[in-house]
Amino acid sequence: MSASPAPSQHTALVRLIDATVQFPGQGMPTLQKINLEVKPGENIAVVGPSGCGKSTLLRVLAGLLQPSDGKRIAIDEKTCTSSGQKELAMVFQDARLLPWRTVWGNMQLPYELTGEAVDKKRLEELLELTGLHKKDFHKYPRMLSGGMKMRVAVARSLVLNPNLLLLDEPFAAVDDLLREQLNLELLKLQKQFGFSTVLVTHHIGEALFLSHRLFIMSANPGQITEEVPIPWPENRTGDLRVSPEFAQLCGKVKHLLRQL
């Protein structure tokens, strides 16, 4: 399988133009005039205070929620079909595994929902790439650790080979050491399969480690107040997190968040 392409400067998988979300009876918009585009092969992170609309932003990007004003320009269908990829997939903070199904049964769910034939070889490959062993395939969610559940959730999200993976604080419930390991595994998968990501997280180190661009949001209303370019090389290792440059940029982002 080919490596991830470098983020393109001229194309976008999905684009928001002055997107505003205001729910009925709400005095102030949840999101106001959001301008954001996701390029092929790009990793974007979004940070901001609780309640600023980060999860709502993901729902708009996914097409699950239409803007009250402004536009969402959908992923180009030709881009999707020419590569054999589907549009997008989403991973939540809760792994959302069906408790009455085994790992293998949960992995088959995307095929059942789309009516496609099950590709057993792909399911095995994805599970193994995310660190699960064949002895785990027939376990039920109650038999899995939190980290294993998230590995299954990420693997399941990639079953239909999406162009774009939306991540809503997927590693919030695991400890820092496991989070760092899962971050590295996610980068490895992204490099191998070439999908783009938009990550919502409260963890600044995670956001800086995983992204090409980081966006800071303010609340009341939810707006993008700052775009932070990330200077790290593509091939990132855990050593990056202990570098002075990493600590300096973490400090800068924390300062920007404190000013909101």
- pLDDT tens digit sequence for 57-85: 999 999 899 999 999 987 654 444 334 44
The answer on 204 and 77 residing in a single domain is: yes
In a domain, 185, yes or no: yes
**pLDDT for position 86:** 62
**pLDDT for position 241:** 94
Tell me which amino acid residue 17 is.
I
In a domain, 69, yes or no: yes
3-state secondary structure 229-242: ECCCCCCCCHHHHH
**pLDDT for position 1:** 29
Round to whole Å and give the CA distance between 24 and 16: 21
**pLDDT for position 2:** 31
**pLDDT for position 60:** 94
The answer on 230 and 175 residing in a single domain is: yes
**pLDDT for position 223:** 96
- Give the chain's length: 260
The answer on 14 and 54 residing in a single domain is: yes
**Sheet with 86-91: strands ordered across:** 86-91, 162-168, 196-200, 43-47, 213-218, 223-229
Round to whole Å and give the CA distance between 53 and 243: 31
The answer on 249 and 122 residing in a single domain is: no
The answer on 75 and 38 residing in a single domain is: yes
The answer on 141 and 250 residing in a single domain is: no
**Cα dihedral angle (118, 99, 165, 49), rounded to 10 degrees?**
180
* Cβ neighbours for 153, distance < 8 A, ≥ 6 positions apart: 91, 92, 95, 96, 97, 170
In a domain, 217, yes or no: yes
Below-50 pLDDT ranges, the chain: 1-9, 77-85
For 148, the domain range is: 98-160
* Helix, strand counts (H, E) of the chain: 9, 9
Global model pTM greater than 0.85: yes
The answer on 13 and 50 residing in a single domain is: yes
CATH of the domain at 212: 3.40.50.300
